Structure 1
Amino acid sequence: MKKLVMLFLLVSCVMFGKTYEKIVIMAPSMFEVACLLGVENKVVGLGEISGKDIYPIEKSKNIPKVGNAFRPSIEKIIALTPDLVVANEGINFPTKEFAQHGINVVEFSTRRIEDIFSNIEKFGKLVGKEKEAQEVIVSSRKKLENIKKIANNNLKGVFIYSTSPLMVFTDKSLPGDILEVLGVKNIGENLSGGKPVINPELILKENPDFIVGIMSVDSVETLKKSIPLVEHTNAGKNNNIFIFDAELIYRNSPRMLEGIEILSERLNKIIK
């Protein structure tokens, strides 16, 4: 065990003890961070998002695309001769294949709001922008602190990930953190896992005041058609079903704070 710990520390020192100059980013949220730190010129390859451009579009559009986060094009990435590949944590990334070619892979967690800040700090160290990273962290934390909690703290709601099967988010998730920041009750908070599958009857029983649809939930009409019971909830009766672009409110980057602010404004208009 001691040897494993020493090996981990040695690898960490090697990875974080140098400044990387040619980077492939497979995690879209980290490209936003690269731009905030002014090192987008170091990015030689980007992971794609199905059917969507990567924000900020004007800076990403001409960068070669090299597969996606779950299916990276190993050949294309190696051909770009990067010294670093940035990936999302927990997706079984082919780290060994890149290591065989002398390419380091660093993974970033995107599960909780607090990861936004730790990821900025971590990336700043990798690109020699520690000072700039701290400045972004301070401004982002201030923005988060300034987002007002909902005046009516009796509100309860839910984020829906998909309708078939019906999947919601617990308190141990990024949307769960968002609802906590806003000071409203998450009807899925006590369920197990991060995105549990639930029976539509639970939505009716819990009777949320608002529903937020993301990812595969692309319209209010689709949601109502897939889950007719929502029409009988407070959210359905009072037209408080909101559809958000996942890139704005479910991508773990400082821009997500804008999405939280917009949701806060909408929820503060709900009268109960």
Structure 2
Amino acid sequence: MHKFMLLWVLCLLGAASHAVSVVDDRQITQDIQRAPQRIVTLMPSLAESVCALNACNRLVGTDNYADWPEQVKALPKLGGLYDASVEAIVRLKPDLVLAGKSTRIVARLESLGIQVVALEPQNLNDVERSLHVIAQALHLPQADAKANAVWSSAMLSVESAAKSLPAHVRGNTIYFEASTGGYAAGESSFIGGVMRQLGLRNIVDKRMGAFPQINPEFVVKANPHWIVLAEPMAQSIDRRPGWSGMDAVKSRRMCPLTAAQGHMLVRPGPRIGEAAQVLVNCFKQSTKP
């Protein structure tokens, strides 16, 4: 009897030792008792991070926009940042939800007893930290080593892209329009961090924030060497007041991004290295004689 009790206590202690604690971007400590097997992600970059850590098979649902890697396209789609369906998520019986900090339904999910880790990286350091938090939350063996491997691979790809940047482009100024409404990727954003590592100078400095809404006149006055924006917006850029006279527009030094390229660049996840190469390829193509 005593041996049985001792064995039972040791089992309990062993189970407890496997619990992990992570701090999310709300600065809330989450104690995750066991490895989650049914995970919902509510930002595309979070699904990409889970898959980059070789845990794609644990995903049971994503937000509406997750589309990489290919296998996540077949998963149930649960809404977006502002309209995710609580009912649809509950039906999936997740043991962990990874969501953006600003996702509206986080508090509601937690009130229903669903554990939520909220992550919304703004800069490159945040992206690296998020990978570590996710790896730990998933109870991955050697979690930090796996997160380091994913991050190191991404950064090596950025370095490789930087080395292939045409010399005459290095030091050029750049304006990156991240979304409709004139929201730009500032120097302090993860996109700004990638552009800085490529040797480019962002016209939207740190004091303006990570993703500020920019007055079009500011861009005209700054007259950047390069403009990066989505293809549909590039088609009408000449109609913006004053923009047709900008050097980048007149010389067609623009990078009109396809939807797939745009997704890669604006998602704070493991494909940052590929995103850097997309930019460099554009610069090379646009400066050909």
Report the TM-score range of the alignment, normalised by the length of the smaller protein: 0.7 to 0.9
Task: Please report the TM-score for the alignment, with normalisation by the length of structure 1.
Answer: 0.82
Alignment partner of 1:107 is 2:118: yes
Alignment partner for residue 234 of structure 1, among 236, 243, 247? 247
Matched, 1:182 2:193: no
Structure-2 residue corresponding to 1:5: none
Q: Is the 8 A contact 1:169 1:189 kept in 2?
A: no
Are 1:95 and 1:105, in contact at CA under 8 Å, matched by a contact in 2? yes
Number of residues of Structure 1 aligned to a counterpart in Structure 2: 253
CA contact 1:249–1:257 (8 Å) conserved in 2: no
Deviation, structure 1 residue 110: 2.5
Q: Structure 2, unaligned stretches of length 5 or more?
A: 1-22
Counterpart for residue 90 of structure 2: 78
The equivalent position to 1:62 in structure 2, one of 64, 67, 74, is 74
Q: Is the 8 A contact 1:83 1:102 kept in 2?
A: no
Larger Rg: 2
1:222 aligns with 2:239: no
Q: Specify the code of the residue in structure 2 equivalent to 1:201.
A: E
Give the direction of change, closer, same or farther, for the CA distance of 1:125–1:118 in structure 2 (3 Å limit): same
Q: Is the CA contact (8 Å cut-off) linking 1:19 and 1:125 kept in structure 2?
A: no
Cα-Cα RMSD: 2.5
Report the secondary structure of 1:157's partner residue.
strand
1:91-138 CA-partner distances (Å, limit 9, x unpaired): 153233222332100011221122222122111111222143332223
**Counterpart of 1:98?**
109
Contact 1:148 1:264 in 2 (8 A): yes
**Identity of counterpart residues, as a percentage?**
25
2:118 alignment partner AA? E
Aligned runs of 1:100-249 on 2, under 5 Å?
100-129=111-140, 130=143, 131-148=145-162, 150=165, 151-152=167-168, 153-162=170-179, 165-189=181-205, 192-214=208-230, 218-225=232-239, 227-244=240-257, 245=259, 246-249=262-265
Q: Relative to structure 2, which stretch is displaced further, 105-114 or 139-148?
A: 139-148
Query: What TM-score does the superposition give when structure 2 sets the normalisation length?
Result: 0.78
| CA distance in 2: counterparts of 1:108 and 1:241, whole angstroms | 32
- SS at the partner of 2:60? strand
- Post-superposition shift, 1:38? 2.0
